[in-house]
Amino acid sequence: MKKIKKIVIPVAGYGTRFLPFTKSIPKEMLPIVDRPVIQYIVEEAVEAGIEEVILITGYSKRAIEDYFDYNVELEYLLEKKGKLEQKKLIRDISDIAKFVYVRQKEMRGHGHAVLQAKEVVGDEPFVVMWGDDMYRGKPSKLQQLIAAYERLEAPVLFTMKRDAPGDGDKYGYIEVAEDMGNGSFRIANMVEKPGDINKPSPYASLGCFILTPDIFPLLEEQQPGLGGEIVTLDAVNRLAKQRPVYAQECTGLSYYDCGDRLGYMKAAVEFALDREDIGQDFRKYLKDLNV
């Protein structure tokens, strides 16, 4: 079984939920204190053993490419001023992994975005994660998912229970064919945004997959689905008819949808409170607010 070394992160979307900010700046570059959301996602991947990060970008996403590139002029300026710690900080961001950028020339859905990575992925299994979903917890969701893949030796989707009112209109939901134990389920079917009444289970697919290269022919043939877009879950459904595909319930995690205003603010506050440098003062500030 091949080791998982590559991750595909689609970041080409318009980010309409954060307009007007995202008119010129990618939502993935929203700061959580002093780091953008995309850095937290890349760091989680590297911590789980990923070596190559494949970013599916669009015409307005140059800021992401620049962020993970070297900035020789800034490094020179920092060194000249004796700010060697800051110089190392920005150099380490660029050296954390190998970065590959693939342009998605038209927005045809996240399934179409994943398909753009076909040539770079080659014949290896790979991870797919979205560029605006953040999680906290140990072990991380990706560490738990990779462990399930190594145990099951088949494609695995990350799942958590999401059964709050309105969640049925936000996520795809899994119909369970067989309980494999250890929080793993063989998938019978998945339904994209079925509504609260029609959910086949409480298990939502939350945008993190370990896939194998046999998904690419299915994505190439996939007809547009919900919203006229090529949906990854539709192709995974077809794959599950050909071979076992599993879902892994990951536990001990807090989830933040940073593509949503409220989810982003929750992440910003909670991550700030955990910081050694500002957490104590920020907590006092929040307690002193007269709201």
The 10s digit of each residue's pLDDT in 2-17 is 889 999 999 988 888 8
Say what the pLDDT of residue 34 is: 92
Q: Which two tokens stand for residue 218?
A: 């299915």
Average pLDDT over residues 116-139: 93
- Average pLDDT over all residues of the chain: 91
Contact 142, 128 (CB under 8 A): no
For the chain, the distance separating the N- and C-terminal CA atoms, rounded to the nearest angstrom, is 56
Average pLDDT over residues 84-99: 92
Average pLDDT over residues 194-205: 89
Residue 113 confidence (pLDDT) above 90: yes
Taken in order of first residue, the domains within the chain and their CATH numbers are 6-288 (3.90.550.10)
pTM of the model: 0.92
Average pLDDT over residues 91-119: 91
Q: Please tell me what DSSP assigns to residue 162.
A: -
Say what the pLDDT of residue 233 is: 86
Work out the pLDDT band at 290, boundaries 50, 70, 90.
confident
* DSSP symbols for 113-144: HHHTTHHHHTTS-EEEE-TTEEEE-SS-HHHH
Contact 234, 112 (CB under 8 A): no
| Model pLDDT for residues 235-278, shown as the tens digit of each residue | 999 999 999 999 999 989 999 989 889 999 999 999 999 999 99
Say what the pLDDT of residue 226 is: 67
Cα-only R_g, the chain? 20
Q: How far apart are CA 245 and CA 186, in angstroms?
A: 6
Residue 227 confidence (pLDDT) above 80: no
HSE of 28, CA atoms in CB hemisphere, 13 A: 27
Q: For residue 108, give the nearest of 205, 2, 3, 234 by alpha carbon.
A: 234
Work out the pLDDT band at 158, boundaries 50, 70, 90.
very high
Contacts of 192 (CB under 8 A, 6+ apart): 172, 225, 226, 231, 233, 234
